[in-house]
Amino acid sequence: MTRRLLNGMEVVQMDEEWIEKAKKKHGMFKHGMVRILPHGYFYGGRAPYFIDKIHTFKFRPDDVIIMTFPKCGTTWMQEIVWNMIYNPNLDNPQAKTSIFLRSPDMSQDMQFDGEEVDNMEVSEFEALFRKIAPDKDPEEGMLLEILDKMEGRRVIKNHYPLCLMTPGLLDKTKVIYVIRNPKDALISYYHFARVMKLFRFSGTLEEFIDDCLKGEVVFMPFWPHVKEAWSQRHHPNMLFVFYEDMKADIMKELRSINTFIGTNLTEQQLENVAKFTSLSAMKSRGDPIDKRNYKTELMEGDTVYMRKGQVGDWKNVFSPELDAKVNKWIEENSKDTDITFNYGN
């Protein structure tokens, strides 16, 4: 029997044989893996349950949703928006607590089902969840419950595409969609996947990118995610931001975010936020949750979320063969869109 989401989309379960083969290189999920048609979004087996919950989730008019494909500048934008709202004068002690609790991730519940995710990784979320919802079952979605009970203006992280959110989301609340050139994003994803226990990727960069291009890495495919958001870029509740533009002129981007979310900050306050959320500042503060959720022996620095933060690093990393393969993928997928990326000079 065909399994369908509340939004009518079809869910296809990956077969056991495929999963056993994929397991040699990638971490898999306890409830298997699924694809959501028509685009083929690839997620852990519990995603349909949580996506159905998001379908009826109560968004509020003052929410700010940071929507991204992974590794495109999510954490940076979360810090920016949270600090613009709650810490423009840099005097809020909460700012040093984990961004994962100040700005919870709507798409995270599915990820706790990873075969190698251990209690350590879940503990802070579980502690908060037990406090706010002692009678509820964590299996029903800890992050969704935490978000539901959250007071004040919510800064919500989310990696699901627009089509898997509540219908008419943009008429209900504000979305900041951050995107980055896919070459740098793929490299960032590779480094993340090799150190995160959830992904525990054990192959080469070439193998990882091959699997991404086939849509066989969690959250793939990249293009429909981006194109759908791009098609909504003129909606008054959508702000479409390029990571490379943030790197080039952060004050310009902060001014437009300031207008978009209506924070009315002064130039001085925007300068404060820019300084506090710079790569070096975020790196030196670190994050209490981020610091433990990976195999540290593989990591060059001390965080997976603040690694190099560069534009065009792919040039130092891609072989000519890999570059040709990725260019072909970009070309094939760019035919029906006018979005263009800055790949660095």
Interacting residues with ligand PPS (CB under 6 A): 68, 70-76, 184, 188, 191-192, 277-279, 282, 305-309
Check if 159 is active-site: yes
Comparing CB distances to ligand PPS, the nearer of 7 and 310 is 310
CA pair distance 220, 223, nearest whole angstrom: 8
Q: How far is the CB of 303 from ligand PPS (least distance, A)?
A: 8
Q: How far is the CB of 38 from ligand PPS (least distance, A)?
A: 24
> Which residues, 6+ apart, have CB-to-CB distance to 35 below 8 Å?
11, 12, 14, 41, 42, 43, 215
> Which residues, 6+ apart, have CB-to-CB distance to 249 below 8 Å?
none
Q: How far is the CB of 45 from ligand PPS (least distance, A)?
A: 21
Comparing CB distances to ligand PPS, the nearer of 92 and 303 is 303
φ, ψ at 142 (rounded to 5°): -70, -45
Comparing CB distances to ligand PPS, the nearer of 5 and 108 is 108
CA pair distance 83, 64, nearest whole angstrom: 13
Q: How far is the CB of 176 from ligand PPS (least distance, A)?
A: 12
Comparing CB distances to ligand PPS, the nearer of 5 and 244 is 244
DSSP 3-state of 4: strand
> Which residues, 6+ apart, have CB-to-CB distance to 244 below 8 Å?
180, 181, 311, 341, 342, 344
CA pair distance 120, 123, nearest whole angstrom: 5
Give me the residues paired with residue 35 across strands: 12, 42
Q: How far is the CB of 283 from ligand PPS (least distance, A)?
A: 8
Comparing CB distances to ligand PPS, the nearer of 53 and 285 is 285
Q: How far is the CB of 50 from ligand PPS (least distance, A)?
A: 17
CA pair distance 31, 34, nearest whole angstrom: 9
Q: How far is the CB of 72 from ligand PPS (least distance, A)?
A: 5
CA pair distance 279, 311, nearest whole angstrom: 13
243, 71 Cβ separation under 8 angstroms: no
Comparing CB distances to ligand PPS, the nearer of 11 and 193 is 193
Alpha helices in 89-232 (DSSP H): 99-102, 119-132, 142-149, 169-172, 182-195, 205-213, 222-231
CA pair distance 319, 211, nearest whole angstrom: 17
Question: C-alpha distances in angstroms, 129 versus 30, 124, 137, 301, 305?
Answer: 22, 8, 9, 30, 24
φ, ψ at 252 (rounded to 5°): -60, -45
To which H or E segment does residue 9 belong?
A: none
Catalytic site residue from 159, 191, 225, 234: 159
Comparing CB distances to ligand PPS, the nearer of 116 and 245 is 245
* Residue numbers annotated as active site: 159
